[in-house]
């Protein structure tokens, strides 16, 4: 990636020079033509010399103006805007380090992983703490496995940053390509793929001292990250290589290649029928019989088929059938807040208020930050004329989303019923401000 960035910089820096050269050549040709016309008209040697001098001066002035215009159009970046590989010290003596042994490098990597294990919820502070260990290990490149592990950990950290995500994914791609001799984007020559590759004995030397994923896990991680940033075609190719057909079909469907995805699913079904493949075929063809076949093969234990049938009946306006399938889906797999939320919505439309209250209560238990679910819990309580139960749900909903005027209006009516007039007055700006 560094090499690519340097090449880009060189190309940008040389473009203005080539443009200026072309301008000077064009002006010189114009000057020569002007000299020829002057000689033919006057026939005087002294006049030719004066005209030639004037033409040369005009060509030089034109070339200088062209160079000035090109320099004015150049995009110059301040040194503070460039993302460097490592910290640049003003005093080089502050950047002096001793040589570490391979065992010391492995210990630093272990300490880095310890920071990640002690802070499962990644934040900026955890990333900075881990980066300190990785930065020290990456100053030495005397062992392939240790260095590759540090590069991979740094790439995973940079994937969480907006400005470093693309570079980090290319770094993971380069590490994955080093497990093969094929010519790829990151190793485009035979020398890079074979001759400069570390031999197996060097790669396995410190394998038990570090935590480095196997090749298939690294490729799976790379495919997931490609799919997350929208590069679904590249992700589909990796999923097909790993024979992860469900993810490959989904990527082809998102990319608008429905026929290719359907052909892939039917090929998988010819080799062996599975509930997941029948469900994927139903998603592509919108045929409910595919979902029923999926449930038949799974013995009624495949929750996504119930969810897909619920979506199908909901889109058709068949709310009772949709409610039945959603309820079966949460019986098989209860820890899915999105399905509970859809069940609660359908139950409210059917007038089944107790079922709706139970569904939305499950949502807020599994996802306490779901503001819409809290608002629906309050709405059900207000429908049942129970403002005391609705009030705390409204407070939680407004903690998550203060820009919903309907929730403010419901809180206004609830506070009036509870005779909390001061809070009712405070709810007015939330209503009139939107």
**pLDDT for 304-321, tens place per residue?**
999 999 999 999 999 999
CA distance 393 to 377: 6
What pLDDT is attached to residue 411? 87
If pLDDT is split at 50, 70 and 90, which confidence band does 59 have? Answer: low
**Residue ranges with strand state E in 153-258:** none
The answer to whether the beta carbons of residues 418 and 388 sit under 8 Å apart is yes
Question: Do you know the residue count of the chain?
Answer: 434
CA distance 236 to 86: 34
The answer to whether the beta carbons of residues 70 and 16 sit under 8 Å apart is yes
What's the 3-state SS for 252-269?
HHHCCCHHHHHHHHHHHH
* 406, 408, 410, 416 alpha-carbon torsion, rounded to 10°: -150
What pLDDT is attached to residue 26? 42
What pLDDT is attached to residue 217? 93
CA distance 397 to 341: 15
What pLDDT is attached to residue 48? 53
Residue 82, H or E segment: none
CA distance 416 to 382: 12
Nearest of 36, 70, 98, 413 to residue 405 by alpha carbon: 413
Nearest of 231, 132, 113, 123 to residue 172 by alpha carbon: 231
If pLDDT is split at 50, 70 and 90, which confidence band does 191 have? Answer: low
If pLDDT is split at 50, 70 and 90, which confidence band does 378 have? Answer: very high
If pLDDT is split at 50, 70 and 90, which confidence band does 178 have? Answer: confident
- Report which of residues 152 and 73 the model is more confident about: 152
What pLDDT is attached to residue 6? 38
The answer to whether the beta carbons of residues 138 and 84 sit under 8 Å apart is no
If pLDDT is split at 50, 70 and 90, which confidence band does 51 have? Answer: low
Nearest of 225, 282, 271, 222 to residue 249 by alpha carbon: 282
Predicted TM-score (pTM) of the model is: 0.64
Say how many CA atoms lie within 13 Å of 307 toward its Cβ.
20
- Report which of residues 78 and 397 the model is more confident about: 397
Torsion-angle region of 419 (φ positive above 0: left; ψ -120 to 50: alpha; else: beta): left
> For 75-132, what is each residue's pLDDT tens digit?
777 766 677 767 777 887 777 778 888 899 999 999 999 988 888 777 788 888 898 8
Mean predicted lDDT score pLDDT of the chain: 81
Helices (H), 44-199: 45-73, 102-118, 124-137, 144-158, 165-177, 190
What pLDDT is attached to residue 25? 43
If pLDDT is split at 50, 70 and 90, which confidence band does 29 have? Answer: very low
Torsion-angle region of 320 (φ positive above 0: left; ψ -120 to 50: alpha; else: beta): alpha
Which tokens go with 278?
């029948």
If pLDDT is split at 50, 70 and 90, which confidence band does 327 have? Answer: very high
Q: For CA atoms 335, 341, 346, 349, give the dihedral sign.
A: positive
CA distance 162 to 2: 18
Q: What percent of the chain has pLDDT over 90?
A: 37
CA distance 215 to 175: 9
> For 266-311, what is each residue's pLDDT tens digit?
998 998 888 989 998 998 898 999 999 999 999 999 999 999 999 9
∠ CA 352-335-159, rounded to 5°: 130
> Cα dist. 246→48, 240, 252, 277 in Å?
81, 9, 10, 7
What pLDDT is attached to residue 12? 41
> Cα dist. 413→357, 382, 387, 423 in Å?
20, 9, 9, 10
Helices (H), 275-351: 275-285, 288-298, 303-315, 319-332, 337-350
Helix, strand, coil percentages in the chain from 3-state DSSP, rounded to 5: 75, 0, 25
The answer to whether the beta carbons of residues 356 and 362 sit under 8 Å apart is no
């Amino acid at each position: 990636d560094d090499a690519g960035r340097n090449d880009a910089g060189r190309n940008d820096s040389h473009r203005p020079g080539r443009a200026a050269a072309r301008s000077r050549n064009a002006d010189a040709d114009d000057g020569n033509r002007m000299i020829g016309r002057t000689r033919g008209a006057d026939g005087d040697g002294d006049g030719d010399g004066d005209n030639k001098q004037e033409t040369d001066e005009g060509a030089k002035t034109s070339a200088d103006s062209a160079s000035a215009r090109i320099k004015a159009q150049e995009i110059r970046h301040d040194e503070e805007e460039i993302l460097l590989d490592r910290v640049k010290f003003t005093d080089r003596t502050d950047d002096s380090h001793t040589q570490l042994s391979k065992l010391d490098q492995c210990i630093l990597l272990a300490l880095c992983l310890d920071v990640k294990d002690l802070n499962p919820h990644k934040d900026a502070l955890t990333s900075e703490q881990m980066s300190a260990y990785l930065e020290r290990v990456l100053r030495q490149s005397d062992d392939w496995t240790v260095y590759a592990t540090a590069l991979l950990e740094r790439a995973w950290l940079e994937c969480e940053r907006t400005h470093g995500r693309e570079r980090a994914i290319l770094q993971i791609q380069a590490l994955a390509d080093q497990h093969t001799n094929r010519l790829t984007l990151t190793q485009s020559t035979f020398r890079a793929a074979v001759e400069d590759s570390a031999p197996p004995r060097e790669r396995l030397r410190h394998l038990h001292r570090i935590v480095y994923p196997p090749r298939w896990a690294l490729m799976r991680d790379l495919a997931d990250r490609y799919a997350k940033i929208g590069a679904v075609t590249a992700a589909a190719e990796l999923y097909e290589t790993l024979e992860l057909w469900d993810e490959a079909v989904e990527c082809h469907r998102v990319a608008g290649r429905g026929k290719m995805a359907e052909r892939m699913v039917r090929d998988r079904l010819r080799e062996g029928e599975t509930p997941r493949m029948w469900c994927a075929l139903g998603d592509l063809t919108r045929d409910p019989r595919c979902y029923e076949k999926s449930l038949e093969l799974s013995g009624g234990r495949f929750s996504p088929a119930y969810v897909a049938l619920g979506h199908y009946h909901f889109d058709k306006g068949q709310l009772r059938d949709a409610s039945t399938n959603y309820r079966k889906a949460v019986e098989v797999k209860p820890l899915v807040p999105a399905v509970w939320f859809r069940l609660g919505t359908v139950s409210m439309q059917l007038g089944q208020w107790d079922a709706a209250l139970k569904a939305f209560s499950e949502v807020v238990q599994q996802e306490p930050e779901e503001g819409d679910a809290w608002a629906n819990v309050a709405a059900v309580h207000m429908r049942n004329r129970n403002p005391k139960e609705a009030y705390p749900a409204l407070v939680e909903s407004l903690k998550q989303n203060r820009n919903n005027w309907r929730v403010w209006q419901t809180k206004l009516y609830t506070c009036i019923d509870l005779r909390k007039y001061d809070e009712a007055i405070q709810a007015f700006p939330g209503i009139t401000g939107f």
